[in-house]
A and B are shown apart, each in its own frame.
Chain A
Amino acid sequence: MEIIILILAGVLFATAIYNLLQKQLFRIIIGTVLLSHGAHLFILTMGKLKRGQPPVLTDGVTDYSDPLPQALILTSIVISFGITALLLVLAYRTTQENKTDNMEELRGNSNE
């Protein structure tokens, strides 16, 4: 099971990096979102996908899945959510002010 999820995470990383290397700003943002999905899936897999019960205390259950990675992922999701929201607004303002969403044209020039 882990190996399948790891391959999936790898595919997510590959797609993310392909998108990050594009010229269009919005594609890059999609790349960052995919990247964070890959990373979160990765944490979950690294905590071992044992077939235990959900980490909620119940009578008669001794086998729980690892709660720590889930807490880490939840934290990381909220953080990347905040950053993505900021990035989207920033991209909106940037494209409005600079009148382009092409990263090639958003380069700085030396005599500013």
Chain B
Amino acid sequence: MSNLAVLPIIIPLISAIILIFFNSKVKASRILTQLFSLIGLGVSGYVVWQVVANGTIVLETGEWIAPYGIILVVDTLAAVLVLTTNIISVAGAFYAPYAGLGEKENYYFYPFYFFLITGVSGAFITGDLFNLFVFFEVLLMASYALIVLGGEKVQLRESVKYLLVNLFSSMLFVTAVAFLYGTVGTINIAQVAQRVQEVDQQGILTTIGILLFFVFATKAAVFPLYYWLPNSYIVPNPLVSALFGALLTKVGIYSLIRVFTLIFIHQIDLTHDLFIWIAGLSMIFGVIGALSTNNVKLIIAYNIIPAIGYILMGIGIFNQEALSGSVYYLIQDMIVKAALFLLIGIIVYVAGTSDLRKMNGLIHHYPLLGWLLFISAFVLAGIPPFSGFIGKLLLLEGAFRDGHIIIAIIGLLTSLLILYSIIKIFVRGFWGDKEAMEGIEKKPIKGMVAPVIFLLLLTVILGVGAEFFYPIADSIAAYLLDPEIYIDSVMKE
């Protein structure tokens, strides 16, 4: 029963290993990828159901009791995030045959795809800081391979920078873990939290907290540390960009949620107030970046940063509404960013360029594509029937309740500018003369659009069915606010 906790990690891992042997058989790889991702989705759905029904699943690997062995903890937050990851993996698997991967499919694309999913799921589930580092490396290694696969000039150039930044922050992570081990003498998250509680978070622990913030903020692309993200996220294939945009930064922000709701919560006036300012600056700078460019891929890549800002804002405000808003926003943002990157991939494919100035009147040729982009702009900006609204509403409620008026106003203005930056693609690229893009021949996009519709449908369901999903987000927030539950579930005495 508790072995369920390991399934979301080993299913993609085994899939990746099997797919290595099918390297040269493209057709078989495609079908197996779709099959394995569907199995993963089914299993993670079952895990979510089990966790919601029976509470947190804690797996002590190798029968070693809590602080001594590696612990896998699947609480509701981790389970829901693993489910979201698998949903994106399914959408990606069905997009892959049409993504124009070409030769890359023969060069271990699908194994790397599943190794990435393995790393992400593992990072969500683990209950041990060093193990978190290892899973980070698993997903980063896969991402290094995916970003450079194809070996174009620009890809090589950007992947060197991407690799160097991540290598630096990984080494910083190791150093921070060493500091923490030297101070509290353990690396199990629950026991660290317990001991930090006992010694009442002295200065050194706050310093370590800030150091860990630096590490995860680099991975999550928060304000002063986002410089590496936009350019490196637009160079690989759109499918890879979608995986990166949906999953990688979200693992960073998830680690921030974990660490700053569980371990470092005794000096909130110092750390969490800082987060609110950083969140505000992330929103402003992210959206400025999105407005500054005419490259449609870059617009979407820059839009990752304000979304991270929203989630961080919830952690900073640190009350029930804001945290449930963060959780809601995190989940819907993973889905909508994947959908947007895939959608932009299709748009670039049909237009033959990623320059907005060269697109015009696409809606006469591809009406469905235009309306999908229109909907996703509304989801992203948080227009009521869609899912972005609920998360932002909760965040703003939380902000107003604790009197953080400035950040609330920044959040609202940023939403407006986000809407503008996406609608700009719609207005300039899709409206206009019918004849403007007459030169290009009509390309079939049926297979590519289906996964996007699937993802956007989910965001609509998340918005319309908020009454069903809100209690889950609310219970996750209540759970995050009370670290005792996590500690007790792991450290059974």
Main secondary structure of the interface of A (DSSP, over half): helix
Q: Which 9 A-B pairs have the closest CB atoms?
A: A46-B182, A43-B178, A46-B178, A94-B156, A39-B174, A39-B171, A79-B137, A35-B171, A42-B178
For the complex formed, measure the closest distance between the CB of B315 and the CB atoms of chain A, giving whole angstroms: 27
> Any chain A CB within 8 A of the CB of B159?
yes
> Any chain B CB within 8 A of the CB of A14?
no
> Any chain B CB within 8 A of the CB of A112?
yes
Q: Chain B, 455-479, contact with A by CB distance < 8 Å: what is the 0/1 string? A: 0000000000000000000000000
Taken together as a complex, chains A and B put the C-alpha atoms of A56 and B231 apart, in Å, by 49
List 6 extra interface pairs beyond A35-B171, A75-B134, A98-B153, CB under 8 A.
A32-B167, A42-B174, A43-B174, A86-B144, A90-B163, A91-B160
For the complex formed, measure the closest distance between the CB of A45 and the CB atoms of chain B, giving whole angstroms: 8
A-B contact pairs, 15 of them (CB 8 A): A28-B164, A36-B174, A38-B175, A42-B174, A42-B175, A42-B178, A45-B182, A68-B187, A72-B174, A72-B177, A72-B181, A76-B133, A79-B134, A83-B144, A108-B158
Taken together as a complex, chains A and B put the C-alpha atoms of A94 and B178 apart, in Å, by 34
Closest residue to B232 on the A side, CB-wise?
A108
Taken together as a complex, chains A and B put the C-alpha atoms of A56 and B183 apart, in Å, by 25
Q: Chain B, 164-207, contact with A by CB distance < 8 Å: what is the 0/1 string? A: 10011011101101110110000100000000000000000000
Residues in A whose Cβ lies below 8 Å from that of B153: 97-98
Taken together as a complex, chains A and B put the C-alpha atoms of A38 and B148 apart, in Å, by 28
For the complex formed, measure the closest distance between the CB of B318 and the CB atoms of chain A, giving whole angstroms: 30
Residues in A whose Cβ lies below 8 Å from that of B158: 108
> Any chain A CB within 8 A of the CB of B449?
no
Closest residue to A9 on the B side, CB-wise?
B175
Main secondary structure of the interface of B (DSSP, over half): helix
> Any chain B CB within 8 A of the CB of A30?
no
Residues of A within 8 A of B (CB): 20, 25, 28, 32, 35-36, 38-40, 42-43, 45-48, 68-69, 72, 75-76, 79-80, 82-83, 86-87, 90-91, 93-94, 97-98, 106, 108, 110, 112
> Any chain A CB within 8 A of the CB of B130?
yes
Which one of B144, B168, B178 contacts A35 once the chains associate, using CB atoms below 8 Å?
A: B168
Contact check, B164 vs A106: say whether CB atoms are below 8 A apart: no
Contact check, B156 vs A39: say whether CB atoms are below 8 A apart: no
Which one of A43, A46, A106, A112 contacts B160 once the chains associate, using CB atoms below 8 Å?
A: A106
Residues of B within 8 A of A (CB): 130, 133-134, 137, 141, 144, 148, 151, 153-154, 156-161, 163-164, 167-168, 170-172, 174-175, 177-179, 181-182, 187, 231, 293
Contact check, A108 vs B231: say whether CB atoms are below 8 A apart: yes
Q: How many A-B residue pairs have CB under 8 A?
A: 100
Contact check, B181 vs A47: say whether CB atoms are below 8 A apart: yes
Closest residue to A35 on the B side, CB-wise?
B171
Contact check, A69 vs B181: say whether CB atoms are below 8 A apart: yes
Known contacts: A80-B171, A90-B163, A106-B157. The answer to whether A97 contacts B151 by CB under 8 A is yes
Residues in A whose Cβ lies below 8 Å from that of B177: 43, 72
Taken together as a complex, chains A and B put the C-alpha atoms of A83 and B148 apart, in Å, by 14
Taken together as a complex, chains A and B put the C-alpha atoms of A72 and B168 apart, in Å, by 18
Taken together as a complex, chains A and B put the C-alpha atoms of A15 and B238 apart, in Å, by 38
Contact check, B174 vs A93: say whether CB atoms are below 8 A apart: no
Residues in B whose Cβ lies below 8 Å from that of A106: 157, 160-161
Contact check, B181 vs A98: say whether CB atoms are below 8 A apart: no
Contact check, B175 vs A39: say whether CB atoms are below 8 A apart: yes
Known contacts: A25-B160, A79-B137, A106-B160. The answer to whether A93 contacts B168 by CB under 8 A is no
Residues in A whose Cβ lies below 8 Å from that of B170: 79-80, 83
For the complex formed, measure the closest distance between the CB of B150 and the CB atoms of chain A, giving whole angstroms: 12
Known contacts: A46-B182, A86-B144. The answer to whether A32 contacts B156 by CB under 8 A is no
Contact check, A20 vs B164: say whether CB atoms are below 8 A apart: yes
Residues in A whose Cβ lies below 8 Å from that of B182: 45-48
